[in-house]
Structure 1
Amino acid sequence: MADRPRRVLVARMDSMGDVLMAGPAIRAVAARPDTEVWLLAGPRGEAAARLLPGVAQVRVIGTPWITAVDRPVDRLLVDEVEALVTECDPDEVIVLTAFHQSPLPIALLLKLAGVQRITGASVQASAGLLDIRLLPGDDFPEDIPEPERNLRIVAAAGYTLPDGDDGALAVIAIDDPPAVLASLPPRYLVVHPGAQVPAREYPAQQHAAAVEQLTALGHPVVVTGGRHERDLTALVAGTTGIDLGGRLDLRGMVAVIGGARVMVVGNTGPAHLAAAVGVPIVGLFSAVVPAVRWAPYGVPTVLLGDQHAACRGTRAQLCPVPGHPCLTGVPPEAVVAAAQRLLAETA
């Protein structure tokens, strides 16, 4: 339609952290004059998608080849994609994927729905599916941070960040912070002990010891987690930390993390939320995925964990090495020392 702006549908269909790391690329697309960005997310990434600057509309479709969703690949899924294309009527689609994902399944459904121009990165042959195809390893190196990978993909479609945009992660300002924020002590730290899969979790008892040591040094500690993690956050907070487990939605997490001096967190979505609000991070980073790709981006960070452990690069959900040594080998004292170092460097 001539009376509406150009419309670009960007697909990033996995989890919270992945969507947040797509933010700079989405801003690059949205920066082009007379361009409107719709974001196609998966169920796990929807809340994060609604926090990204530059997104006009968010639509959600669960695809079992990207994240585990309780649905088959059937005619209903084909119809959902077709309905989205009919509603959005995109001038083009850009599919953002991690190195272990393929853009081709969703590109096929989009082509069947009538999309004429699709950009993506694929090591697989993609004639007829991707109109602009980047070849990972040739068109860009594999071992680069995920936000930079996403920027390379949208650049191939002709979109770059405008002058003055440093490419950092970002979220929109929260104008309705949770009431609990007003009751928190000044100059607090945040500890987020949970992770999406066990292979990325630092042991709860070691987390609890770090919280006890930090509070003994005079640093108030707020412990965050989802509703399903209340037992974990209670254990980690102990008698000295402030347990907010299950009390915050994602917008509340933005507000609470944004007020922290430092965050202690594993390789999980809230780490990228902290990066998006500019908070220094102690990253308890399991070696199951490469830190060079998924470590917190653009903020002062101290990474802890053996990045050369035997589990390196396995993408395992359960640690394949007895004892989970890449993280259990990090003593609570090292966590405390890293937090102290970041506090001194960013004071």
Structure 2
Amino acid sequence: MSWQGCKNILCIRPDNMGDLIMTGPAIRALKTTFGARITVLTSSMAKGIIRHMPEIDDAIIYDLPWVKTAALPDAEGFNEVVAALKKKQFDAAVIFTVYSQNPLPTAMLAYLAGIPKILAYCRENPYHLLTDWLPDQEPYSFIKHQVRRDLDLVAAVGAFTTNPALQLQVSDTAWQPVAQKLTAAGIDVTRPWLILHPGVSEKKRAYPTTQWAEAARKLITEKGFQILITGSPAERQLTDELAGLTGAGSVSLGGMFSLHEYICLVKHTPVMLSVNTGSIHIAAAVGTPVVVLYAQTNPQHTPWGVPCRVLEFAVPVQLRSKNEVIAYVNKTHYNVPALMPAADDIIRAVDELLNSPGLPALPFPGKQNENLAIEAS
């Protein structure tokens, strides 16, 4: 059944901020192809980024109980969301997932709301819960970058875009208050500086603080950079600790910036250093090159469309996911654990990005490419 008449579309991406940013090109494809009004259903963790995504017209914020969030499940809230979706009278819904997620609970939400067309990837036969079903072949036959996965999903119903880039809108008028805050914190904005973003949402993604500090000290003493250590208000203790270990030339900025200001700050930095978290997708969306210390967890979430260097490291066995799909990826794609990158590896990656302005964007690290084939074992 054609989606050409779908002018009021619900996009469901109920995860973190970085996940929603990566869905932006697919949402753009739906909006431009069908001339549709786009509403997103997303989590409280992602709601702050919505105002910066021009593809989104409206939003419904709800933390679904089958998605990892800080909020406690609320059964009555679920019924209220179903009622709210019914009132919106959507023509269609698109459920965006990573390959390790089951879309059927979310499909039930859209089904109960009476949405006539529902599109998603799914491994098992969804029968009446999905009107448009793409059998999910990931990660057993191949792994795609998350952005490509989402674009291919909407392409199945005829939605395409000529602009697959991540995009976030931020006014340059935000730079003056950002610069004032940097100056007040002791940063000379006329001298070279880099962002270092160490905070993680999951312990298994953390790069050791002592090794961050060693790399930061070398960037200060050998390369002349000032190091801006950023994080959320909840990460202030971490940024303070890392600044203390690093010493002169670094400054702790945890909790200092609003999201709007942070996006502007990232846009103005020559290179970002970060772990695998939403910050790398913000950087990709404003065109900032990234060096990412990347725990071997989700190979499909590397920076999209910007020059990057991905330095992998193994996740300790006791911290690995119990999800059987992720366990399969650990046994196949990550069957050789990567050694922890050293400070010199980080310095070398920064040098490569700064000294190679024509360096191509790498959607996957090393041997991978955008549609990586994995031999099934």
Range of TM-score over shorter length: 0.7 to 0.9
Are the aligned partners of 2:291 and 2:309 in contact in 1 as well (CA < 8 Å)? yes
Task: Pick one of 228, 234, 246 that aligns with 1:228.
Answer: 234
2:276 to 241, 248, 267: 267
Within-5 A mapping of 1:46-195 = 46-72=47-73, 74-86=75-87, 88-137=88-137, 142-161=142-161, 163=162, 165=163, 167-174=164-171, 176-177=173-174, 179-182=177-180, 183=183, 185-186=189-190, 187-195=192-200
Counterpart residue number, 1:296: 303
Q: Percent identity?
A: 28
- Once residues 81 and 211 of structure 1 are traced to their aligned partners in structure 2, the CA distance between those partners, rounded to angstroms, is 49
* Worse-superposed segment, 134-143 or 199-208: 134-143
Matched, 1:255 2:253: no
Q: Secondary structure at the match of 2:46?
A: helix
- Give the unaligned 5+ runs of structure 2: 328-335, 359-377
Are 1:199 and 2:236 an aligned pair? no
For residues 282-301 of structure 1, what are the alpha-carbon distances to aligned partners after superposition, in whole Å with 9 as ceiling and x for unaligned?
Answer: 110001x132x111111111
Change (3 A) 1:118 1:17: same
Contact 2:6 2:92 in 1 (8 A): no
Distance change >3 Å, CA 138–CA 306, structure 1 → 2: closer
Give the SS at the match of 2:125: coil
Write the deviation string for residues 248-303 of structure 1: whole angstroms up to 9, x where unpaired: 1221210111101000001111111111111111110001x132x11111111111
State the AA in 1 paired with 2:227.
V
1:305 paired residue number: 312
Distance 2:96 2:32 in 1: 18
Q: State the 1:137 CA deviation.
A: 1.1
Counterpart CA distance in 1 for 2:139 and 2:252 is: 46
The equivalent position to 1:336 in structure 2, one of 341, 347, 352, is: 347
Runs of 4+ in 1 over 6 A off after TM superposition: 325-328
- Which residue, 219, 222, 241 being the options, matches 2:225? 219
Query: 1: distance between equivalents of 2:50 and 2:298?
Result: 24
CA deviations on 1:289-341 (whole Å, 9 max, x unpaired) are 132x111111111111246x775994479xx9xxxx96872211211121111
Please give the alpha-carbon distance, in whole angstroms, between the structure 1 residues aligned to 2:338 and 2:17.
23
Structure 1 residues 176 and 18, CA gap change in structure 2 (3 angstroms): same
Displacement of 1:343: 0.8
* Distance in 1 separating the partners of 2:141 and 2:287: 26
What TM-score results when the alignment is normalised by the length of structure 1? Answer: 0.88
CA distance in 2, matches of 1:224, 1:190: 7
- Corresponding pairs, count: 331
How large is the RMSD of aligned CA atoms in angstroms? 2.7
- CA-CA distance at 1:220 after TM superposition: 2.2
Cα shift at 1:101: 1.0
Paired residues of 1:169 and 1:298 also in contact (CA < 8 A):
yes
Indicate which of 269, 272, 286 corresponds to 1:277. 286
C-alpha distance in 2, partners of 1:159/1:304?
34
CA contact (8 A) 2:199 2:238 kept: yes
Q: CA 1:57–1:263 in 2, change beyond 3 Å: closer, same or farther?
A: same
Output the CA distance in 1 between the equivalents of 2:35 and 2:238: 48
* Cα contact 1:290–1:313 (8 A) shared by 2: no
Q: Distance in 1 between matches of 2:21 and 2:156?
A: 20
CA distance in 2, matches of 1:313, 1:101: 19
Query: What is the rounded CA distance, in whole Å, between the counterparts of 2:291 and 2:90 in structure 1?
Result: 41
Letter in 2 for 1:196: S
CA shift at 1:209, angstroms?
1.6
Asked if structure 2 preserves the Cα contact closer than 8 Å seen for 1:286 and 1:326, the reply is no
Given residue 108 of structure 1, which amino acid in structure 2 is its aligned partner?
Answer: M
Matched residues in 2 for 1:141 and 1:82: separation?
A: 39
- More displaced 10-residue stretch of structure 1: 40-49 or 7-16: 40-49
How far is 1:115 from its partner? 0.9
Deviation at 1:174, TM superposition (A): 2.8
Q: Aligned AA for 2:97?
A: T
Equivalent position amino acid for 1:14 in 2: D
TM-score by length of 2: 0.81
How far, CA to CA, are the matches of 1:157 and 1:193 in structure 2?
Answer: 39
1:43 is paired with a residue whose SS is coil
